[in-house]
Structure 1
Amino acid sequence: MDMHDSMIINGSCEPGYEAVRDAFAVNFAERGDVGASVAMVVDGQIVVDLWGGAVDSSKNAQSWQADTLVNVWSTTKGVTAACFAMLVDRGLIEYDAPIARYWPEFAAEGKGEITVAMLLSHQAGLCGFREPATLETFYDTEAAAERLAEQKPFWKPGTQGGYHAISVGFLASALCRRVDGRSLRQFVAEELAGLDITIGVPTNAAHRVAPLLAPRDMGTNDLVTDFNESQIAALLNPPLDPLVPNQHGWQYAEIPSANGFATARGLARLYGALSGDGMLDGKRLFGVEAIAAATTVQFTGIDSILGMPARWGCGFLCNVNGIYGPEPRAFGHSGWGGAFAFADPARKLGFAYTMNRMGKDLVGDPRNVALIDAIYR
């Protein structure tokens, strides 16, 4: 593929939003993108819906399509947060209630006071497994959740925020099943049908998945130096290879913290609903009270796992250090390697970017920065 071919950007961009299209094109020309999509919803209308590049870097690679799915890593956590806002809106669960009210076994080892909000804002101290874990551990969601429910926290719950990188997904799904009857994977499939957002890959969509590409030797061990016990549990038990989402086992598992597959359009539409009245295509996804509760800051401070400033809502990352632009009320979630999605409620804006070539910057990926700058220009 020569440079000229790679610059074909497909899709639509309403007048007035050309800066986003231009930044997206420059991501391919100068910032290393191979295949990617970007989408923006303003006031319920899709104003940017673009895709380009190829599904891999080989010579005869297929072009990225309008419906190409890609693993978005922790951007999945924002989808899980949205599902919990729906459960709260329906009165099935309360953020301030102890988890043990819905799941009595969870109270083991002094965890009876941990609330749903504490878990979703990474304060529960269950950031990973105490005993050695493998990828296979991740592939049995209910067993993983039960193992965490029996475990002693790594810190006194509520005293610090520390990123539950993978574990929060297992606990969230087990909790969803106990209050709604469905796993999170099933909940997303049924309640967000038509959005092209799934936990894992549906069997009928495998041909639409673009594999991830990553720099050689990249791994979760790059994320922190001088690991302590809780960081080892969160990030290195087991260590993750960035290409693991290309494996069948990962694609068919249910890991609602990290194995979401999506298009930018689907994520932007979800966040568009979150940025406004909670309606999508005439259907109520959430009430505004549930959105407000989900995005109320529960923890502000230095995240004890990642060692960087964080403001956590109930599963959403509330804007910190301008990562989601100049609007203080913006919220969303980003994923390892570069994918991200967020809402700006002041402008009723939902935005998402998905891509297959992972970058090494945990925050401040130049592609992300360029896109966010373009939105607000």
Structure 2
Amino acid sequence: MPDEKNTPQGTVSEGFESVRREFGAVAAEEGGDYAAQLVAYLGGERVVDLWTGPEITGDSLTGVFSSTKGAAHLVVALLVQDGVLDLDQRVSHYWPEFAAEGKRDITLRDLLSHRAGVVGADSGFLLEELADDRVIAERLAAQAPYWRPGTAFGYHALGIGALTGEVVRRVTGQSIQELFEDRVRSRHDLDFFLGLPEEHEPRFLTTLPMLPTPEQQAQLDAAETGPRSVTGIAFNRNHPQAPDLEALPNVRVIRAKGPASVGGVASARGLAGMYAAAISELDGRAPLLKPDTAAAFAQIHSIGYDLVSRAHKAFGLGFSATGDVYPLLGQGAFGHSGAAGSQAFADPRNGLAYGYNRRRFAFPGGAAPENGRLIAAVHAAATSARRR
């Protein structure tokens, strides 16, 4: 008999029953304490709203790690669309202190495309410092880049939101977190928080660590990099008291301050709803982004060997070029994944918005492998729905 705790709960629209079946198949294969949420929109209509596993519901919130970067950079896209920020202006024009150590000519476009080389600080960060974007920004402004800016790219995993956030603060007088709340989250009542209010704490589920098999652990050990390598610095492993990155959302100070690189707390409804609001009419409101803005931020700016991830990556401006990872999506799909396995994106050409969230870290980290199956199922159902 099927395990009831891994039977998908929730609803799907007519024609999307295959997505429920695929989600159920994933749950059956994962077994155990697998707990996840899956939500999709087509043309601004929620067509998939599912969850499965112990303790989790459709209303549950978890830490979404780097999927936070999508929220932060939606704010930046709105400010560029408004004419408040210029992608080709120097960061130091907005933020003079950033010019230190040879960074004077780095543009906002360079920064958003992970080409600035300021992936961390020589001395690393304490937990309390990682929670505070202002502290991170001040330290990184004084830091020399780890490669000549513009010559290569590497994932600014823990700092990109603080860096772009300081530009936003210098120009608007408000933080990215405040602007996201005012212009995005509260406008659509989204379950996606950059700074989780105390009253929502009972809905939060702690993030569970990865449980690799011996074979998987051997793969992780073989891929390990030194704490003072570019990768080690980017993920803060160079600090002698470096916090466990897997557990960051489990610490209240991280959830409360919502650092714009990794501190967001959301459900799959919030993840997918944000991207639906970005590209589609939602709740009777016009899309947040004009088509040309969405296209500009989705356009690939950095592709190839990532010096930090030590793998092939593709980035637009602040967002991942999601279509490079899942080629069945439309050209110009943009979004961001998170370390525990979350994935969220908008696909303007197909009118799709997608959000997936899981509680336990997936091997090997980053977007969980099952996203490929689930995205294919959503895409196939959406293609059939458009043909009807």
Q: Deviations over 1:49-100 (max 9, x none)?
A: 1122223xxxxxxxx2222111111111111121111111111111111111
Q: Provide the C-alpha distance between the structure 2 equivalents of 1:376 and 1:43, rounded to a whole number of angstroms.
A: 13
Aligned to 1:191: 183
In the alignment, structure 1 residue 27 sits paired with structure 2 residue 22: no
Q: What CA deviation, in whole Å up to 9, does each residue of 1:98-128 have, x standing for no partner?
A: 1111111111112111111211111110111
Do structure 1's residue 210 and structure 2's residue 205 form an aligned pair? yes
Q: 1:201 aligns with which of 183, 196, 205?
A: 196
Distance between the aligned counterparts of 1:373 and 1:91, measured in 2? 37
Distance verdict in 2 for CA 1:7–1:226, change over 3 Å: closer
Q: How does 1:8-47 map to 2 (within 5 A)?
A: 8-32=7-31, 34-47=34-47
Structure 1 gaps, min length 5: 56-63
The residue that corresponds to 2:144 in the other structure is: 152
Q: How does 1:46-125 map to 2 (within 5 A)?
A: 46-55=46-55, 64-125=56-117
The answer for the alignment partner of 1:60 in structure 2 is none
Distance 2:211 2:137 in 1: 32
- Among candidates 284, 294, 298, match of residue 297 of structure 2: 294
Would the alpha carbon gap of residues 361 and 214 (structure 1) be closer, same or farther in structure 2, given more than 3 Å must change? same
Q: Comparing both structures, which one devotes a greater share of its residues to helix?
A: 2
- CA distance in 2 between counterparts of 1:53 and 1:282 reads 34
SS class of match (2:246): coil
1:105-254 pair list within 5 angstroms: 105-192=97-184, 193=186, 194-216=189-211, 224-227=223-226, 229-235=229-235, 236-237=237-238, 238=242, 240-254=244-258
Task: State the partner residue of 1:6.
Answer: 5
Aligned amino acid, residue 45 of structure 1: E
- Residue 223 of structure 1, CA deviation: 9.7
Structure 2: unaligned runs, 5 residues or longer: 381-388
1:59 corresponds to: none
Aligned-residue offset at 1:366: 3.2
Q: Distance in 2 between the 1:81 and 1:50 partners?
A: 27
Question: Could you tell me which residue of structure 1 aligns to residue 266 of structure 2?
Answer: 262
Contact 2:323-2:329 within 8 A present in 1 as well? no
Gap change, CA 1:20 and 1:287, over 3 Å in 2: same
Amino acid in the other structure paired with 2:72: T
1:256: Cα distance to partner? 0.8
Deviation at 1:321, TM superposition (A): 4.7
Q: Structure 1 CA distance, aligned partners of 2:20 and 2:336?
A: 22
Q: Aligned partner of 1:51: which letter?
A: W
In structure 2, C-alpha distance between the alignment counterparts of 1:31 and 1:73, rounded to whole Å: 21
Q: Kindly state the Cα deviation for residue 4 of structure 1 after the two structures are TM-superposed.
A: 3.1
CA distance in 2 between partners of 1:117 and 1:224 (Å): 31
- How high is the TM-score relative to the length of structure 2? 0.87
- The two structures, once aligned, show a CA RMSD in angstroms of 2.3
Cα shift readout 1:115-156 (whole Å, capped 9, x = no counterpart):
112111111101111123221221222122111011111111
Displacement of 1:3 in angstroms is 5.4
